[in-house]
Every structure is written in structure tokens, then in C-alpha cells.
Amino acid sequence: MSTVATPAPRAAPLGDVARFAAALTSGDRVGAAAVLFIAFVVLVAVLAPVISPYDPVHTTSDTLAAPSLQHPFGTDQFGRDMLSRVIWGARIILLAPVVGISISTVIGVPLGLLAGYSTRWISAAIMRAMDVMLAFPGLLLVLIVVTIIGAGLVNVMIAIGISFVPVFARVVYGSTLAAKGQDYVLAAKAVGCSPLRIIAVHILPNVTTQIIVIASSAIGWAILTATTLNFLGFGVKLPTPDWGADLSAGKDWLSLAWWIATFPGLAITAMILASNYLGDQVASVFDPQSHWRDNATRVGMEEVS
Amino acid sequence: MRGVSFALEQGETLAIVGESGCGKSASALSLTRLLPPTARVSGSIRFLGEDVLGMTDQELREIRGRQIAMVFQDPMSSLNPVRTIGVQMEEMLRVHLNMSRRQARARSVELLASVGIPSPARQMTVYPHQLSGGMRQRVMIAMALSCEPKVVVADEPTTALDVSIQAQILELLRRITEVSKTSLLMVSHDLSVVAGLADRIAVMYAGEIVESGPTTRVFDHPRHPYTLGLLACIPRLDGPRTETLRSIEGGLPDPLARKSGCPFAPRCAFVMERCLVDPPALEEKALAQVAACWADLSEVTVAEVAAPVAVSPSAASRANGHVLLSVADLKVHFPIGTAIPFRPRPVLRAVDGVSVDVPRGGTLGIVGESGCGKTTTGRAVLRLVEPTSGQIRFDGHDVAHIGPDELKALRPRMQMVFQDPYSSLNPRLTVADAIGEPLVVHHASQRGALRPRILELLEMVGLPARLASRFPHQLSGGQRQRVGIARALALRPSLIVADEPTSALDVSVRAQILNLMRRLQDEHHLTYVFISHDLSIVRHMSTKVAVMYLGKIVEIADRDTLYSNPQHPYTQALLAVVPVPDPQIERGRRRAPIRGDVPNPANPPRGCRFNTRCPHAFDRCFQEEPELADLGRGHRAACFLAKPEVAKDQLQ
């Protein structure tokens, strides 16, 4: 038995994509299904021009047709094929949250690093500002931002990005504080590294795990927010195919043509469920707790062997 | 762990000794089947004739705590932090012995008193975090004893404690086993610690017992090369000082790899061809002493093996009179608590007026217990913490007051080696990146010259070049510490502050690192500030020694003067409590000379800071603080009773 604490094995280097993918699709079966579903949606979005049977914005005289072999998801009040609209809608549903979360990462991570590494005053100023933003319910914050900067897909992305900044800043702040207390940071200082180098070389690589976990668990919420905004008409404008906007348009025809709202609605539900599970799955791959579990079993085995 | 057998008789103390990962804790835990469920345990464990492995959970619970009690290394994590000491003690008694609340309370107070806890009735109402580490360990021992168990299993009970507290706990354990005839199974990595306590010793290596026998026999005539090596590689306070330590080369074997032959063969000095293919079994080498070795060590003694190989020019002879580092009245205060307007903020005086000169080429050893300010002193010297006041002159530069650019220019000349080789290396950087970083930061190497320089540094610290692309978690503790040393050497410094560089390492690796540091000092004309809590290691490494207590130097002298003629009662006490790997000496000690705990550094006692624990304290010590008075020949001590060196010379 060790007299010195056994170090937790570090997460695999991030470049190791294949091993990461293998870890993501192993273990929990629901989580693995969620990862595969998201991969499927990504594929559909990329191949939309190839696989969609019709032009999603082309109106025809065949309006409000029920699902059939010719139109598996039916057509809407302008005779547009719903299957094609759902396929093309996948692009928006992926684009908005991914860009939004990227914006929050780019702003939130440096803020967190700065707050974690700098003096008390700068750190207090940044973190109190983040607390004020966190005090607003997320959706309200997004609506405020959209109201200020106006509607439109780009603005929805910016709004989502801003609303997630405090979450990233908080998490990175905490991890930075922890990393800053490590001897290797002191060692870097003793060697004569500049603060910028210490942050970039010694702290940032040691907090990337937490950033990835946060980003992947925020995706689900971002998808929900983006769809909500599109549903409310703040985001994309019809006839651009989008699940939220189609759901909104279809709700007026629910008694006559249930399929217009139902298929985009199902797609949204599945997507959000899957992305929430994706967040959990990524978190469990990186979670020190799960490593601790592996490590404990391994140490146990060492001792009897 | 495989094929481990041992027997513990009533009232006997057995010590299981070994390095990390050798399976000593697992052996102890398996006694009460406390191992994680993934462990496969086979064989038989009999307690009073009954088979523990065949017991039901119900029967096991009856034995755990009641018959076999455990004391762990870290008392903080074994006590429930949200319940008072009293509640936790009473619970044991009420569950196991069906005592009433009143009875349990009275018995608990009695038990706390018996383990030497002052005002036990009052301590019943405190929470574990309010007690010091030594006190917590006493509480754990009291709890273990509460049901009058037949066997106490103590897993590294003193490893987390300071030397002076360690001596108190060892004395307590010895007294308990004598008085109550309890059997004690003690697990430790340190042979010196168990020397005075154990009746018999079992030495484990790589999951096997390699030697076992009566304590005196094992210490006097070890029959396994590993035991021999362990005894020879400990620098001893009671023996002559040697320039180079014997070390056991190599590192511990990977427990996951299966090898044929004797597991110790790759590191053994007595290795024969047979050892590589044929694993030796335990065989009787002398009366009641067994060892698993093909070689016959009956003619070999520890002293012979420990004798110096070659006498290199000692650092002391080269340490010329020129002072490289001079610290004057250094103070480092940290604000604590909350600031209240118009009132001075309370401060922790981590370092409170330290003055010391370090000659070029020499080694200043700083010794002291935790919280004495030795680490802060070392860091302040390199300005890794900002000094509150005082002067630090390094080769003519005023380190305490220079600007950031000048400081950066000075950095290459003063470097640091850290205590914990696990946290001092960035887990995301390869060995080459870690060693190369100082060179990159200071543009010290041309692009093409960087790689060769890194390889040269690796070779200097005895690491193979193939490790360059490894990450820290792929290295052993000793290898990591070598990387830390290489990083410190990269810029060819003249001063290295080494903060407990070996205390996180295994005993057999410790000697390798100390020898490496000595060799590098000779080769590169380094000056060291060597910080340690271990007096025997400091004696081995230093030319000049400063003893610190609560932020101040209480005694300072050149090495031989300090160790042969300590004047401050704290130094004397520290020297008296350092465990020596010799059962005769250890048994002869009866009383731990320093009572009590180190006072809170935020609120040191008035007068002499040592007055709460000093056996010689008198009126004056409580009113005024003694100055660090010159006793002649560079020997200075902060005690009213210190006798001048000169007087002693005249007597002779």
C-alpha cells in the first residue's frame, strides 16, 4: 500500500480521437445510443442536399397532404414536403447551439482564467459581474439580449453565447484556482515564466477537461433555447426550414393536419434528450470520479496479485 | 500480494515493514476482510482458532472493533467530522459493550485520559478538526482500545505526524502493549520507527515477505539483501557521517508485471544466476529468523555495506568564505481573517525575523517541524512569496526589492526543487517539455541546441534518454524527482533551494536522490539551501544547519558543532526523538522529551516561543524573548541558558 497518495491517472491526451470516440460509445447503453443518434443527425445535416427528396421551400398545390409513400411526413399548408423540411432543419438546430456555445467558450474561458489568476480586485470585479448575469434565469437573459440586439439567426447565436458566458467563467475560475495552487505553477514561476505563459502552458491545458464537460452539457440547453426562440419568432423566419419555426406554424393546423407540428416536435424532443445524454456521457468519460473508481479497482487487484 | 504468512501471539508486537506498493497494508486489512470487493483473498486467516475468511458478515462485525481494532495513518479521515469526539467514543462503547450513556461517558473520559489527552472531559465536546494531528491520533488509539481488543492493527500510525509528536505516539503505543498485553500489528515504511516497538519484524518486498525474525536479529544480522540495503541506506545520527550513502539501485518492480525468479534480483548486490530463474522460498537462516534468498549473508554486516565507497572532496572543504546568499531580518506575514476598518488586520507571522548567511559552495540545512516557516523562508529567498520586510542579498543583488525584469534575469541563477514530485510536474507536459521550459523561457538555447541540452540534462540526473517523450504519470516517484532536479539545473544555477526533496520518496530511492544531489553539487559547484524535517538527512547533506521554531531560527551553527553540542532545548529534544534504526537504542528511550503540541503560529506564546514545551523554562522565559546570542565560532542560539562555545574550549 502506498504511503504517498497514488496520483489519479490523467485523462487521455485530447488528440486521441479514436479512443475518445470508443469511450463515448461504450459503457452506458442509453448514453451510447444518444451519441450515435447525434452522429446520425450530424450526418443528415451534412448530406441534406443529397438525401432530401424535395426542395424544402418549394410550394406546390399538394397542400396539407397526409403522410404517404410520396410524402412520408406529409406536406404543410403551402404544399412543402415536411420530411425535406425536417432534414434541412437539422442544419439550423446544430448550427445555432454550436456557434452559440463556441462564443461563450471564447469569452467565458479567458474571463475565468483571468479572474482565477489575477489579483483580488480584478477577480472580484469579473466574478461579481458574472454573478449578476447568473442571477437572471437563462431564458430571460437570452430574451433580453435578443430584444436589445434584435431578432435573426445570428443574433440568436450571440444571445445564447452571452447567456452561457458566466457558466463557463465560473467553472474555469474554480479550476484555475485549483491548478494555481499546484507546485508545478510555482515551479514555472521559479523558472521565470511570464504570467501569460503560466496561464497558457500550465493552467489552460489542465482545465480543458472541465471546459469540454461544461460545453457538452450546455449543448442540450442551447438547443432547447434556440428552438424556443425560433418557435417564438425571434430567430429564423419562415420559409427557412427550422424545427422550432415549423412547430410554431403547425400548431395552428393541429386539428386539420397533425403531421405538420408532430414530426418537427418529435425531432426536437429526440435531439434534446440525446444531447442531454451526450453531456452526461462526455462528463463520465472525463470525470475524475470514474477514474478514481477504475484506479481503486486496479490498486485492489495489484495488492492481491 | 502472494503467499504471505505470519503469526501474531498474545501480547506480541509484530511490525510489517516495506515500501509503497509492497502489499503491507493489504496484509493488515485482510485480517478483518476490509479489502475492496475486487480483491481475491485465498489461504486462511485464523483468529483465536477461528477462520476469519469463512465468517459471516454478522460474525465479522462482532470481531471488527471488538476484538481486532484498527488505527489508520490519517486520523482526520477516520473520524466523522460532524460529530464530537465524545459522541463517537460513546457510540463504540454502547454498540459493542451495551453500556448505558452514563457508563459510556465515564469510560470515554477514562480512555482519553489514559492516552494522555489533557483535560479529557472538556475534549469530549470538541469536533475532530479542532484537535491537532497528534491529538486526533491519540483519540483514534483511545477508540481502538475502548473495547479492550485482543489485537490492534496500526497502519502507519505516525507517518503524518511531526517527529516530536511521533515520539509521543510511539511511546504511547509501547506503554499500551506493555500494560494491557494487547497484541500490536504495526505497518510502517520506516525501519527506525518500529525498531524500539516491535518484538518481531517482517520485511515485505513486491507482495512477499522476504525476511522475518526477532527485531534485534533482523537489525544486527539481516539475512536478505533488501533488508541489508534498507538498513545501510538510512543516514544515521548515531554513527559517523559518510560522504556518500549506500543506495539500492533501480526502482520498485511493476506489480502488474509477472517475472520469473526472485523479484529483488534486478536490484540485488548479491545476485546469482540462479536468482533470475528460480524464486527463492523462505528458509530458516538463523534461530527463528527466515529469509527468502539463495545467497548466504551470515558473514556480511550492515556497517561493512554502509561504509563509504570512495571519499570525494567534501563540499565543506570547497566552501570558501565568500557569502553567496545573505538573508537579514526576513519577515513574511500573511494576513488572516477579515479586515476590520481602523484596526490592524491579524497576521500569521510565518517567518518572523530570520537572518542567515550561506557560503558559496556550502549547504545550509533548515530543520523544523510543520508550521515552523522553513518552506516559506525557502520560497521567500527565491521571491516566490513576497517578503514583508528584510533583506535578501544574492551575489550582490537585493532580491527582495528588485523589479520584475531584474528578477527574471536573476531567475536562472537560483532555482528550486520541490517536495512533491507528483504535483511539481505539469501532467500535460512531457519530460522533455518540462526540462526544456526554462531554456525556452530564457532563450538559453538555440532551436537546434535545445534537444541535445535536454538529453544532456537527463543524463546528468541519471535518466535514460527514452524517458524524454514520457508524461509524468508514466514515471515513478524517484524518476519524477530526477526530472524536477534536471529542470532546476537546466539554466546552470548557482543556488538551489530544495524543499523536502526526498520526503515523498521511498526509503530505498531516497538515498539515490541524496547521492545524486551531492554529486551534482560537487560537479557544478552548487550552493544548496536544504529544507527538511529529518535531522539525519540534514546532517548528511549540510555544512551549516539552522533550526527553526515558529517562524524564528532558534539555533544555528556549522553541522558538527550543532550535532555534537546543541544548546537550545528544542534542538536537543529534536535530536533525542529522531528514531534510530537500532533496537537497543530505541528500547533504552523511555520518555518523549517534548510534551505537547506546536502552538498556533498565528498566536505564538509571549516571551520565548518555546516556553510552552520547554523542560527548562523559568520566569524570565515567559517575560522576554531571548535574542539569537553568539556563542562563539559562528554558533548562535536563542536561549537564556545557552553556554558559550569558548568556555567549553577552555575547559578542554
Tens-digit pLDDT profile for residues B453-484: 999 999 889 888 888 988 888 888 888 999 99
| Min Cα–Cα distance to chain A from B472, Å | 10
A196–B contact, CB cutoff 8 A: no
Say whether A191 and B415 touch across the interface (CB within 8 A): yes
Which chain B residues are closer than 8 Å to A301 by Cβ? 38-39
The structural domain count of chain A equals 1
Per-residue pLDDT, A7: 40
Per-residue pLDDT, A291: 45
Q: Inform me whether the pLDDT recorded for B649 exceeds 80.
A: no
Using CA coordinates, name the residue in chain B closest to A181: B423
The closest CB to that of B159, out of A3, A188, A297, belongs to A3
Say whether A206 and B427 touch across the interface (CB within 8 A): yes
Pick among A197, A209, A303 to test the B interface (most B CBs inside 10 A)? A303
Contact present, B442 and B487 (Cβ < 8 Å): no
Per-residue pLDDT, A286: 72
Cα distance from N-terminal residue to C-terminal residue, chain A: 13
Per-residue pLDDT, B366: 94
Residue whose cell numbers read 536537543: B572
Per-residue pLDDT, A125: 92
Which chain A residues are closer than 8 Å to B478 by Cβ? none
B429–A contact, CB cutoff 8 A: yes
Asked if CATH classification 3.40.50.300 holds for the domain at B13-198, the reply, yes or no, is yes
Per-residue pLDDT, B646: 59
From A278-287, B275-284, B431-440, B569-578, the region with the lowest mean pLDDT: A278-287
Q: Inform me whether the pLDDT recorded for B135 exceeds 90.
A: no
From B32-36, B57-61, B138-142, B167-171, the region with the lowest mean pLDDT: B32-36
Phi-psi region of A79 (alpha: psi -120 to 50; beta: other; left: phi over 0): left
- For chain B, what is the mean pLDDT? 83
Say whether B35 and A201 touch across the interface (CB within 8 A): no
B39–A contact, CB cutoff 8 A: yes
Residue A129 domain flag: yes
- Which among B120, B133, B129 has a CA at the least distance from the CA of B168? B133
How many other C-beta atoms lie within 10 A of the C-beta of residue A55? Answer: 15
Query: What is the spatial distance between Cα B390 and Cα B401, in angstroms, rounded to a whole number?
Result: 10
B74–A contact, CB cutoff 8 A: no
User: Measuring CA to CA, how many Å separate B250 from each of B265, B462, B521?
Assistant: 11, 11, 22
DSSP assignment of B400-447, as one string? TT--HHHHHHHGGGEEEE-S-TTTSS-TTS-HHHHHHHHHHHTT-S-H
Pick among A14, A121, A182, A183 to test the B interface (most B CBs inside 10 A)? A183
Check for a shared fold between B13-198 and B315-567.
Answer: yes
Per-residue pLDDT tens digits for A119-148: 788 899 999 999 999 898 888 888 988 889
User: Measuring CA to CA, how many Å separate A35 from each of A98, A135, A161, A286, B74?
Assistant: 16, 32, 23, 15, 42
Which chain B residues are closer than 8 Å to A1 by Cβ? 20-21, 23-26, 155, 187
B35–A contact, CB cutoff 8 A: yes
Per-residue pLDDT, B339: 66
Residue A38 domain flag: yes
For B250, the grid coordinates are: 533501480
Mean pLDDT to the nearest integer, B358-363: 90
Low-confidence ranges of chain A (pLDDT < 70): 1-18, 27, 287-305
Q: CB burial class (10 A; 0-12, 13-18, 19+) of residue B34?
A: middle
Which chain A residues are closer than 8 Å to B484 by Cβ? 187
Q: Inform me whether the pLDDT recorded for B431 exceeds 90.
A: yes
| Min Cα–Cα distance to chain B from A186, Å | 7
Query: What is the spatial distance between Cα B437 and Cα B498, in angstroms, rounded to a whole number?
Result: 19
A190–B contact, CB cutoff 8 A: yes
A210–B contact, CB cutoff 8 A: no
Using CA coordinates, name the residue in chain A closest to B190: A3
Say whether B438 and A183 touch across the interface (CB within 8 A): no
* Angle B202-B208-B213 from CA coordinates, rounded to 5°: 20
B510–A contact, CB cutoff 8 A: no
From A140-154, A248-262, B308-322, B438-452, the region with the lowest mean pLDDT: B308-322
Residue A5 domain flag: no
- Residue A2 exposure: Cα atoms within 13 Å on the Cβ side: 14
> Greater confidence, B405 or B581?
B405
Per-residue pLDDT, A11: 45
Per-residue pLDDT, A101: 93
Which chain B residues are closer than 8 Å to A190 by Cβ? 382, 384, 411, 415-416
For A45, the grid coordinates are: 445535416
| Min Cα–Cα distance to chain B from A2, Å | 4
Q: Inform me whether the pLDDT recorded for B546 exceeds 60.
A: yes
User: Measuring CA to CA, how many Å separate B264 from each of A99, B177, B254, B515?
Assistant: 58, 34, 12, 21
Say whether B419 and A7 touch across the interface (CB within 8 A): no
Residue whose cell numbers read 393546423: A253
A296–B contact, CB cutoff 8 A: yes
Say whether B256 and A305 touch across the interface (CB within 8 A): yes
The closest CB to that of A3, out of B20, B207, B426, belongs to B20
Using CA coordinates, name the residue in chain A closest to B430: A13
Using CA coordinates, name the residue in chain B closest to A207: B428
Say whether A300 and B38 touch across the interface (CB within 8 A): yes
A119–B contact, CB cutoff 8 A: no
User: Measuring CA to CA, how many Å separate A133 from each of A129, A130, A148, A167, B391?
Assistant: 7, 5, 15, 9, 46
What are the extents of the domains in chain B? 13-198, 210-238+261-311, 315-567
Measure the CA dihedral B154/B155/B159/B160, to 10°: -90
Q: Which 3 state secondary structure label does DSSP give A48?
A: helix
The closest CB to that of A304, out of B39, B408, B429, belongs to B39
Say whether A300 and B39 touch across the interface (CB within 8 A): yes
Residue whose cell numbers read 507571522: B349
- Which among B628, B640, B570 has a CA at the least distance from the CA of B328? B628
Please, which residues 254-293 of chain A have a Cβ atom closer than 8 Å to chain B? none
Mean pLDDT to the nearest integer, B499-503: 87
Helix axes A82-117, A243-250, angle to 10 degrees: 130
* Structural domain span for residue A272: 18-63+72-294
B349 forms beta bridges with B333
pLDDT category, B164, cuts 50, 70, 90? confident
A120–B contact, CB cutoff 8 A: no
The three-state DSSP-derived secondary structure of B543-557 is: CEEEEEECCEEEEEE
Query: What is the spatial distance between Cα B185 and Cα A172, in angstroms, rounded to a whole number?
Result: 47
A to B CB pairs, distance under 8 Å:
118
- Domain containing residue A234: CATH number: 1.10.3720.10
Per-residue pLDDT, B652: 45
Name, in order, each residue with C-beta under 8 angstroms of B449's C-beta and a sequence gap of 6 or more. Answer: none
pLDDT category, B592, cuts 50, 70, 90? low
The closest CB to that of B487, out of A9, A187, A296, belongs to A187
B422–A contact, CB cutoff 8 A: yes
A68–B contact, CB cutoff 8 A: no
Per-residue pLDDT, A9: 43
User: Measuring CA to CA, how many Å separate B485 from each of A32, A193, A275, B314, B481?
Assistant: 45, 17, 47, 21, 6
Helix residue spans in B525-626 (DSSP H): 535-541, 559-564, 569-577, 583-588, 619-623
Per-residue pLDDT, A287: 59
Residue A302 domain flag: no
Its CATH class, for the domain covering B315-567, is alpha beta
Say whether B428 and A206 touch across the interface (CB within 8 A): yes
Residue A3 domain flag: no
A193–B contact, CB cutoff 8 A: yes
| Min Cα–Cα distance to chain B from A237, Å | 46
A189–B contact, CB cutoff 8 A: yes
Which chain A residues are closer than 8 Å to B154 by Cβ? none
